[in-house]
Amino acid sequence: MLNTQIVSVDKNRPEGYKIKKAAEIIKTGGLVAFPTETVYGLGGNALDEHVAKKIYAAKGRPQDNPLIVHIHSLSQLDELVKEIPTRAAVLMDKFWPGPLTIIFHKKDIIPYSTTGGLDTVAIRMPAHSVALELIKESGVPIAAPSANISGRPSPACAEDVAEDLFGKIEMILDGGPTSVGVESTVLDLSEKVPIILRPGGVTKEDLEDVLGCVNLDPGLAPGEKPRSPGQKYRHYAPKAQMTVIEGCMENQVKTIQELTKQLESGGLKVGIMATAQTRHLYTRGYVISVGDRTAPLTISSNLFTILRKFDRLGVDRIFAEGISKDGIGLAVMNRLYKAAGYKILKV
Ligand code: TXA
Ligand code: MG
C-alpha cells in the first residue's frame, strides 16, 4: 500500500512548488491523479512502458484498452505522431486545449503498452492549467485514463479519486470539481467521413460546423461491436441496478413514480435521478436532481458524482430520466446507457 499524498492546488494559478513535486513523481515513474476540464486523470509517463502497466494495475483495467496521451503544446506532437492530417490541424486549432481526443499514427517512441498494442495513439491537450503545468514541468507527455477503478463512474472531484485509488498511487492533485464532467470526445479521422468513437465534451454539432458530415460509430448502439477498444467494456456502473426511462417528461415521471411505489412496497430502496424540472413532482424514493434540462452542462458536470452518491446512499435500484441527445446530451445519454448496462425503458 502506498502513502498517497493529497495536495490541494489552486486551479487558476497552480502553485509552482506543488506542481514540481508532482512532476518529480511522474519523472521517476510514479503515478499522479490530476484534474482536467472533463474528469480527473490517472497520469504517468506515456513514454515508459512499465508505467502504462502500473496504470492498468492501479485501475484494474484490461491491458488492451489504450490510454489517452496528454500534451501541453503543439510542439510536443511531432515527436509522437507520424503525420498530422490537415483536418486534424484545423480541429486542433479550433478545439485545443479542450475536450477533444484525436487518433493519430504513432511513432516508435510511444510504447505499445500505452496504446494497448495498437499502431495508433489517442492524443489530447486538456483545458486545465493544473494539467497543462504538470505536463510541462514533467517534460514528457502524460498517459492518463480516467482516475477510477475500471468499470466505476469516472471521478469529477478529488474525493471520488481517493475513494477508488487511495493507497494505490503516489499523489492526488486536488483542483476542485471538474467543469465538463464527462470525458473528451474521441475522434477517428482515418475514414473519409470522420467517426466519433466516444461522444464527449466537444459536441457532434461543434465538429460538424468545422468538418461538415461526422458519423457516430454505429458500434456504440446496444449489442454492436464498437471500433474503440475501451467502449466494449461495462462502464460507469453504480452498484445498484439502474434503468433509464425515456419518453416525454410527464410519462417519465408517471412511470418512475409507479415503479418506485411497487419496489418500495417490496422493501427496496429506490434512487431517482431527476432533473430541476421534475424533482418536485416525486413523492417517493431518494430523489436527486442531476441538473437543469435547459442547461445540459449542469447535467454532465453532476452526472458521475451523483451515480456515486447513490452508491453511498445504498439504494437497491436507480431510475434515471433520459434527456435530449442534442449537444452534450449525446455524451450524457451514452454514459447513462452504459451505467444502466443498456437497460432502457421507453414510455
Ligand atoms: O476526458 C478524457 O478523455 C479523460 C481525461 C483524463 O483526459 N480520459 C479518459 O481516458 O477518459 P480513458 O482511458 O478512460 O478513455 C480512453 C478512451 C477509451 O475508450 C479508449 O478505448 C479510447 O479512448 N482510445 C484510446 N486510444 C485509442 C486508439 N488508439 N484508438 C481508438 N480508441 C482509443
Ligand atoms: Mg474511463
Tell me, what CATH number does 323's domain have? 3.40.50.11030
Residues 36 and 182 sit within 8 Å (Cβ to Cβ): no
pLDDT of residue 64: 80
Write phi, then psi, for 277 (nearest 5 degrees). Answer: -75, -25
Cell matching residue 260: 418506485
pLDDT of residue 165: 98
Nearest ligand for residue 69 CA = 1
The domain that contains 84 carries what CATH number?
A: 3.90.870.10
Cell matching residue 328: 452534450
Q: Is the CB of 177 under 6 A from ligand 1?
A: no
pLDDT of residue 234: 66
Strand order in the sheet with 5-8: 5-8, 171-174, 32-34, 41-45, 142-143, 68-70, 120-124, 100-105, 185-188, 195-198, 215-216
Nearest ligand for residue 67 CA = 1
pTM for this prediction: 0.96
Is residue 222 located within the same domain as residue 245? Answer: no
Looking at ligand 1, which residue's alpha carbon is closest to its atom 13?
145
Q: What is the DSSP string of 6-19?
A: EEE--SSS--HHHH
Q: Is the CB of 183 under 6 A from ligand 1?
A: yes
Q: What is the pLDDT of residues 205-260, one digit of tens each?
A: 999 999 999 999 998 887 788 888 877 666 778 889 999 999 999 999 999 999 99
Is residue 164 located within the same domain as residue 256? Answer: no
From the CA of 329, how far away is ligand 2's center (Å)?
18
End-of-domain residue from the set 199, 232, 265: 232
From the CA of 305, how far away is ligand 2's center (Å)?
14
pLDDT of residue 233: 66
* Shortest-distance atom of ligand 1 to CA 106: 29
Binding residues: 38, 61, 65, 70, 120, 124, 144, 146, 154, 184, 198, 236
pLDDT of residue 61: 82
Is residue 245 located within the same domain as residue 124? Answer: no
pLDDT of residue 304: 96
Torsion of CA 334, 340, 341, 347, to 10 degrees: -80
Q: Is the CB of 135 under 6 A from ligand 1?
A: no
What is the radius of gyration, based on Cα positions, of the chain? 20
From the CA of 39, how far away is ligand 2's center (Å)?
9
Q: Is the CB of 197 under 6 A from ligand 1?
A: yes
Determine the Cα–Cα distance for residues 65 and 11; give it in Å rounded to an integer. 30
Is residue 225 located within the same domain as residue 248? Answer: no
Is residue 121 located within the same domain as residue 228? Answer: yes
Q: What residues of the chain score a pLDDT lower than 50?
A: none
Place of cell 447513462: 336
Q: Is the CB of 187 under 6 A from ligand 1?
A: no
- Structural domains in the chain (count): 2
Determine the Cα–Cα distance for residues 124 and 22; give it in Å rounded to an integer. 20
pLDDT of residue 65: 87
Is residue 68 located within the same domain as residue 159? Answer: yes
Nearest ligand for residue 97 CA = 1
End-of-domain residue from the set 232, 256, 290: 232
Is residue 291 located within the same domain as residue 338? Answer: yes
Residues 38 and 196 sit within 8 Å (Cβ to Cβ): no
Using CB atoms within 10 Å of the CB of residue 262, give its burial: 0 to 12 exposed, 13 to 18 middle, 19+ buried: exposed
The residue range of the domain holding 271 is 241-346
Phi-psi sector, 236: left (phi>0), alpha (psi -120 to 50), beta = left
pLDDT of residue 162: 98
User: Which residues lie closer than 8 Å to 118 by C-beta, 6 or more apart?
Assistant: 66, 106, 112, 229
